Structure 1
Amino acid sequence: MGLETILAAIAAGSAIGLVLALVGGGGSILAVPLLVYVVGVASPHAAIGTAAVAVALNAASSLAGHARSGNVKWPCAVTFALAGVLGAALGAEAGKAMDGRKLLALFGALMVLVGLSMLRPRKTADNPDVRLERSTASVLLPRLIPTGFGVGLLAGFFGIGGGFLIVPGLVMATRMPLRVAVGTSLVVVTALGLTTATSYALSGYVDWVLVGLMVIGGLIGAGIGIPLGKRLASRKRGMEQGFAALVIAIGSYVILRGIT
């Protein structure tokens, strides 16, 4: 591995860490195109497998802080995660079986859809005391299980953490506040990322050196983004919209590269 590749991998990780720190999510969806078009990973499957490991590690490292702050609804998270793990395992097998160029084109289409969804104004949930227990199971389980399974399928297929899908899925299923949904989603992101990463690793589709370099870059990006995010807190919605536009543009480029 040459110096240029090493620097590109660290830069890619830094970009993802910076985005996560500034807008609170969505950075992982940039990992695959960055690995393919910036770092130069030849195989889309190897890019997906490597990205899945990096996403899982980043989510796990962020989970502790949210848990200490009480922003994790553990029963909801575990239920959603168990359903998602099954979906992710099936999705990863389907993704590995698909032609790499077609997979990239579909990934680009997903990026465009995600970007468009991020442009929509968010609605605040109104049930901060939601709990999954015997009295609420009949209402919450029919919502959490199918939503978790569907999100897991997409996360496994595309090798993404799926935080941008998990958060609205949790809000839709339980009406928990957004800040709690973000903390709870990290449990699910970690579980789905590890499931997808294990599947791809067993097939030899993970570059562990690149994983290490991207984690180093992610720490650098987060170190820059956290204090910068505090300064730009009043412009958070504007940053989210700008990031959404970037995701749409990159997704369109990935589609074109995938079909031509």
Structure 2
Amino acid sequence: MTASTVLAVLAVGAATGFLGGLFGKGGSALATPVLAALGIPAIVAVASPLPATIPGTLLAARQYARAGHVDRRVLAWSAAVGLPATLAGAAMTRWIAAESLVVATDLLVAGLGMSILVGAGRGAARRAGSGPSAAELAGPPSALGSETTTAAAPGAVDGLAGAAGGVALLAPVADDPPAGGVGAIVGVAVVVGVVAGLLANSGGFLLAPLLLVVLRLPVRPALGTSLAVSAALALPGTVAHAALGHVDWGLVGVFGAASVPLAAVGARTALRIDPHRLEVVFGAVLVLAATVLLAWA
């Protein structure tokens, strides 16, 4: 790589890491089109960000876990179901045109973003029409509806490194299940896993909004859990592409040098933002990103 390319990859890695940590995604899907535009061969631009984003995604997930914002039940089911679904999606690439799937996924992301914005607007209207509840005055509860529910204990993401993205799955969880229960979790994991396999990314760009809209997780647990699951789902794609010789490890090193530390910074930034404002920003970014990608397609 030339010096100018190295600088450009560092900039892309920094932006990808920060935005991934901020919005709960691994970031490979964000990096691929930009790297391709810089002249990186298409298959290398697809494959190389995956291994580079795994450590940054884990660091960002750890920030959320330390603050109590990783839902262990969703994480366990998503990893268990999502990993084989990712492999199935990768195998299906020989029959499904990736271009049509990308367009359908962008439309879905735009719709999810609009749903998040509408839900955030309704929540703001309800809060404006009533004062603080007794629960709010008493502090955050431990049920799943709160920002701290079913969350991993501090440091939990060190538990299963390599086996499931380095996130512990063994601690007890709260009694209240996400909306729809295990069936809804499995459905979300299958969709995200298959799409991740088909598009050769970690699926985080789709997982976080589905956790918000379908499972109705609060925004911070949705983002934190999405990061932890994304790290796990990136593993099979990394192994497959590395075996096929699609990974440029020099590019991985340059990209990761910027993306890894910035992912943790992005996560810490998200944890300092008011959760209701974060939800609005997240929904707006989804709609904007999907619109840009649809126009680009």
TM-score (norm 2): 0.68
Tell me which residue corresponds to 1:258: none
The answer to whether residue 168 in structure 2 is matched with residue 127 in structure 1 is no
Conserved in 2, the CA contact under 8 Å of 1:23 and 1:240?
no
Amino acid at match of 1:93: A
The answer to whether residue 183 in structure 2 is matched with residue 142 in structure 1 is yes
Conserved in 2, the CA contact under 8 Å of 1:88 and 1:195?
yes
Amino acid at match of 1:33: P
**Identity of paired residues, percent?**
27
User: Could you report, residue by residue, the CA deviation over 1:135-187 in whole angstroms, capped at 9, with x for unpaired residues?
Assistant: 969x6222222321111010121122222322233345543322112212222
The answer to whether residue 105 in structure 2 is matched with residue 87 in structure 1 is no
Conserved in 1, the CA contact under 8 Å of 2:23 and 2:223?
no
Pick closer, same or farther for the CA change 1:5–1:106 going to 2, 3 Å: farther
Picking from 99, 103, 107, the partner of 2:102 is 107
The more displaced of 7-16 and 173-182 is 173-182
Which whole-Å CA distance do the structure 2 matches of 1:200 and 1:172 have between them? 32
Pick closer, same or farther for the CA change 1:58–1:4 going to 2, 3 Å: same
Pick closer, same or farther for the CA change 1:85–1:227 going to 2, 3 Å: closer
The more displaced of 150-159 and 11-20 is 11-20
Pick closer, same or farther for the CA change 1:122–1:80 going to 2, 3 Å: farther
Unaligned runs of 5+ in 2: 124-143, 151-171
Amino acid at match of 1:84: G
Which whole-Å CA distance do the structure 1 matches of 2:184 and 2:266 have between them? 35
Amino acid at match of 2:82: G
Amino acid at match of 2:84: L
Amino acid at match of 1:200: H
- TM-superposed deviation, 1:207: 1.2
Which whole-Å CA distance do the structure 2 matches of 1:247 and 1:4 have between them? 29
Unaligned runs of 5+ in 1: 256-260
Tell me which residue corresponds to 1:118: 113
Aligned positions of 1:23-172 closer than 5 A:
23=23, 25=25, 27-38=27-38, 40-43=39-42, 45-95=43-93, 97=94, 103=98, 106-107=101-102, 110-111=105-106, 113-120=108-115, 121=117, 123=119, 127-128=145-146, 129=149, 140-172=181-213
Amino acid at match of 1:150: V
| Secondary structure of 1:70 counterpart | coil
- TM-superposed deviation, 1:201: 1.3
Which whole-Å CA distance do the structure 2 matches of 1:226 and 1:191 have between them? 18
- TM-superposed deviation, 1:10: 0.8
Tell me which residue corresponds to 2:257: 216
| Secondary structure of 1:123 counterpart | helix
- TM-superposed deviation, 1:251: 4.0
Pick closer, same or farther for the CA change 1:7–1:93 going to 2, 3 Å: farther
The more displaced of 206-215 and 224-233 is 224-233
| Secondary structure of 2:48 counterpart | helix
Conserved in 1, the CA contact under 8 Å of 2:24 and 2:226?
no
Pick closer, same or farther for the CA change 1:122–1:217 going to 2, 3 Å: farther
The answer to whether residue 202 in structure 2 is matched with residue 202 in structure 1 is no
| Secondary structure of 1:210 counterpart | helix
Greater gyration radius: 2
Which whole-Å CA distance do the structure 2 matches of 1:135 and 1:65 have between them? 24
Which whole-Å CA distance do the structure 2 matches of 1:104 and 1:243 have between them? 19
Amino acid at match of 2:112: S
Amino acid at match of 1:55: T
Conserved in 2, the CA contact under 8 Å of 1:56 and 1:161?
no
Amino acid at match of 1:20: G
Amino acid at match of 1:218: S
Conserved in 2, the CA contact under 8 Å of 1:115 and 1:248?
yes
- TM-superposed deviation, 1:200: 1.3
Pick closer, same or farther for the CA change 1:49–1:227 going to 2, 3 Å: closer
Aligned pairs, how many? Answer: 248
Conserved in 2, the CA contact under 8 Å of 1:9 and 1:35?
yes
Pick closer, same or farther for the CA change 1:86–1:227 going to 2, 3 Å: closer
User: Could you report, residue by residue, the CA deviation over 1:118-140 in whole angstroms, capped at 9, with x for unpaired residues?
Assistant: 24415369734568689969x62
| Secondary structure of 1:72 counterpart | coil
